[in-house]
Structure 1
């Protein structure tokens, strides 16, 4: 039996980001993962590339293709005003492993059969034979992670991914709304083609499993964007992989000796935001949380609260973003697919208008160095978890002075550039002298 300090289950972006962060903190870390069982491609934005760079996933970052134009046909309007970088997931996943190897992180390619957990640690049974023993466990297996514990689920959603091969050509991607869902499609320069349709999982219109491939081919034949992006091969049945796209938020994202990150903590609707970005968003904070749980157990409640609050807040932001995108499609607003998703998860606005009268100072958990600590932060309607610093300037003392009507002496003491930056931030929060 191999003794390990920390085991990370899953070598996707979230698991790798946590493992690299823990390695930098000096922890002995092992990543357990099996290879992806199906080919896929994803379109990512610049903020995803920035997140990969921040996580230290340089080889994974380099595997992204150059930006290509993305066509959008939504609510009857056609646009081609933005770009996305296409990621070949098998190549991307292999690059992640190279980043882990280069950092000295042990990687075991195996399938996890089951995990036995207790207050003393975790026993991880693998299909490769010998079990692993870990003091701390990071669950990063995405949607494949065991669905234990209470959770919030959005409308049941199914995505059908099709792949086929055409001649090499110009890459590109597109997205379009449909009467009962929406589709995303991409063509790589080497001629590999992908088309994914996202539908209500409970729809009575879906055919039997063995008829899905032909069903998808017929639907592609009705799409103007498909005919523009692909050749005639796109109108034929293709290989198919079905997967759940239901939004899920776990009410318990961590404990004294375990933590959920990425899709294993919160999985969002694919329209809500790029999955890689949300995975990195929760994973980049995890090393400080784990370090606190192991080095400062007296702060365990604080560290767990910090992680849970940020997971929940990230989830709500992504879910509300998706809700607003769904609401933009007006043609089929009363169809079940669109009706259910334009109202979920709530009616709260994605962004709240600034109101300095609602700004307050509160003590909340923050990342201080490599640990979770408590500090005075500024809470606003749009930032309920608080803002500690503005480019190195602590905001709480400034806001307290503004609330007392004594801001001028504080601003005068700042260098000119910092003063202008603070003034701009205050005005953005609705402050009026």
Structure 2
């Protein structure tokens, strides 16, 4: 059995930031386990200028990501609350300058930095299980080539994202506040220029989002609730195409585009958080500790922030540090709920549709059981 100081489950920006923090500031031997093989396209393509503060903290120069990883974004075209087009930069941040992110290059650079600094990364790990015995974490997983693998560590970090199952295995309560899902596709057109384009458009059953990822590639997503998706059959390509064509701005800009994948993808996009105490020598970061509606544009920034703060709290000599970190995450979630409600209530055209009725209810403070 191989032994590490810390095992991180999840190889996204949150897990990577946590790993780099543990190695850089605490000289820890780190193992990062990832379920995928890093070839699947990942959603999350806009960041604020604060991303460079996190990279500076982790001692990664901006130049390490190569030219074109961070492309200045000159704002979204928004059709929200009316049929009149408006422009804005980012909904939840006072920092006006935002960037279009080459997500594949960004994630790859973070992982390469972990490897270069002595961290171990193992992709394609399935059936991950864990238990704490005599102050140590025992972690087991199944690899397609190496078979069943066993590891041991003092610390365990959950960076496995919005769909994490780790809390359930460890008995940590998770509160889910809505049932938002994203149904989307990557589309391309050799004669279109999608770079720096972003459009958001509300509709009766939710909202649509389009963002250029490169010169001829864009991501298009319909956000609605799970029950509405099933009722309208929005996860069926033909229905999805028909609904897209009826949008005011997005559908017209994508005429003639071809999907790069044979099927639509459906991803959870709901808001949720860990609400009860963590086990000893454990912390959750990124979407695992709290996840947000994509309209907030909080994903990658919060992932990096929580990855760094989670590592600091886990290593802190004060016993309440992890609890304080978790309470800060819940406070952030409370503030986010208020801001999200304030934004959604600007759309008053479909007050009787279930999607909008649910979001026009003023949120209350989240009830949680983190020990005071």
TM-score, normalised to structure 2, is 0.83
Instruction: Judge conservation of contact 1:187–1:230 (CA < 8 Å) in 2.
Output: no
* Corresponding pairs, count: 341
Instruction: Judge conservation of contact 1:60–1:99 (CA < 8 Å) in 2.
Output: no
Deviation at 1:198, TM superposition (A): 0.6
- Relative to structure 1, the CA distance from residue 290 to residue 260 in structure 2 (aligned partners, 3 Å threshold; closer, same or farther) is same
Deviations 1:52-108 (A, max 9, x none): 443445445962233244211110131124364222333322122122123322212
Structure 2: how far apart are the matches of 1:344 and 1:154?
Answer: 12
Deviation at 1:253, TM superposition (A): 5.8
**Equivalent in the alignment of 1:43:** 46
Instruction: Judge conservation of contact 1:162–1:241 (CA < 8 Å) in 2.
Output: yes
Structure 2 counterpart SS, 1:330: coil
1:320 equivalent among 310, 321, 338: 338
Instruction: Judge conservation of contact 1:156–1:246 (CA < 8 Å) in 2.
Output: yes
- Long gaps (5+) in structure 1: 349-433
Once the two structures are superposed, the pairs formed by residues 128-147 of structure 1 within 5 Å of their partners are 128=143, 129=147, 130-146=149-165, 147=167
**Equivalent in the alignment of 1:17:** 17
Structure 2: how far apart are the matches of 1:190 and 1:254?
Answer: 44
**Equivalent in the alignment of 2:72:** 66
**Equivalent in the alignment of 1:405:** none
Deviations 1:324-357 (A, max 9, x none): 1111111123321112123253289xxxxxxxxx
Instruction: Judge conservation of contact 2:201–2:250 (CA < 8 Å) in 1.
Output: no
Instruction: Judge conservation of contact 2:185–2:260 (CA < 8 Å) in 1.
Output: no
**Equivalent in the alignment of 1:7:** 7
- Long gaps (5+) in structure 2: 90-96, 367-372
- Relative to structure 1, the CA distance from residue 40 to residue 20 in structure 2 (aligned partners, 3 Å threshold; closer, same or farther) is closer
**Equivalent in the alignment of 2:189:** 166
Structure 1: how far apart are the matches of 2:297 and 2:335?
Answer: 9
Deviation at 1:220, TM superposition (A): 1.3
Pair 1:32 & 2:50 matched: no
TM-score, normalised to structure 1, is 0.72
Deviation at 1:202, TM superposition (A): 1.6
Pair 1:151 & 2:174 matched: yes
Quick check: 95-104 or 263-272, which moved more?
95-104
**Equivalent in the alignment of 1:117:** 131
Tell me: higher relative CO, structure 1 or 2? Use CA pairs within 8 A at least 6 residues apart: 2
Deviations 1:27-66 (A, max 9, x none): 1112112334642442222234433443445445962233
Structure 2 counterpart SS, 1:144: coil
**Equivalent in the alignment of 1:280:** 304
**Equivalent in the alignment of 2:104:** 90
Quick check: 135-144 or 314-323, which moved more?
314-323
Structure 2 counterpart SS, 1:142: coil
**Equivalent in the alignment of 1:426:** none
Deviation at 1:234, TM superposition (A): 6.1
**Root-mean-square deviation (CA), in Å?**
2.6
Instruction: Judge conservation of contact 1:200–1:337 (CA < 8 Å) in 2.
Output: yes
- Relative to structure 1, the CA distance from residue 248 to residue 344 in structure 2 (aligned partners, 3 Å threshold; closer, same or farther) is farther
